[in-house]
């Protein structure tokens, strides 16, 4: 399905990678509310960021998000800039407690 073929009622949920994820700080995070596919809850907690090794010239971070209403966990694979991966020390995992304790600064 091409962008121009997306039904009108589906459009508010459809955003591109560039607008959905904020890649300006030390860690990727969503610019928009995420609606749970099961309970339609909108309050989520990011549990962890898992930076993987380079794959075919691209760098990725798996962002694990938990719905606070029904506890459903989703993982989003986000393409990130090489500089973000380098800042995190290459292949690494950052947990929510690392972020909240100040071990990782999210500028």
pLDDT digits (tens, 9 = 90+) for 8-32: 444 444 445 557 889 988 899 888 8
Question: Does 106 map to a domain?
Answer: no
Domain that holds residue 55: 3-100
Q: Taking the CA of residue 69 as centre, how many other CA atoms within 13 Å lie in the half-sphere pointing to its CB?
A: 10
| pLDDT score recorded for residue 73 | 93
Question: Does 19 map to a domain?
Answer: yes
Using DSSP's 3-state secondary structure scheme, residue 84 falls into helix
Question: Does 26 map to a domain?
Answer: yes
Burial class (CB in 10 A: 0-12, 13-18, 19+), 80: buried
> Under 8 Å CB-to-CB from 95, ≥6 apart: which residues?
47, 48
Question: Does 105 map to a domain?
Answer: no
User: What's the total number of domains in the chain?
Assistant: 1
pLDDT of 45 > 90? The answer is no
Question: Could you tell me if 106 and 26 are in contact, meaning their C-beta atoms sit under 8 angstroms apart?
Answer: yes
Question: Does 15 map to a domain?
Answer: yes
pLDDT of 82 > 70? The answer is yes
């Amino acid at each position: 399905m091409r962008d121009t073929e997306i039904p009108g009622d589906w459009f508010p949920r459809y955003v591109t990678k560039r607008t959905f994820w904020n890649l300006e700080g030390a860690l990727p995070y969503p610019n928009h509310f995420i609606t749970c596919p099961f309970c339609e809850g909108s309050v989520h907690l990011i549990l962890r960021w898992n930076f993987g090794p380079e794959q075919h010239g691209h760098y990725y971070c798996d962002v694990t998000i938990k719905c606070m209403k029904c506890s459903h966990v989703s993982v989003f694979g986000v393409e990130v800039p090489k500089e973000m991966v380098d800042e995190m020390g290459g292949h690494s995992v950052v947990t929510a407690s690392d972020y909240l304790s100040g071990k990782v600064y999210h500028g």
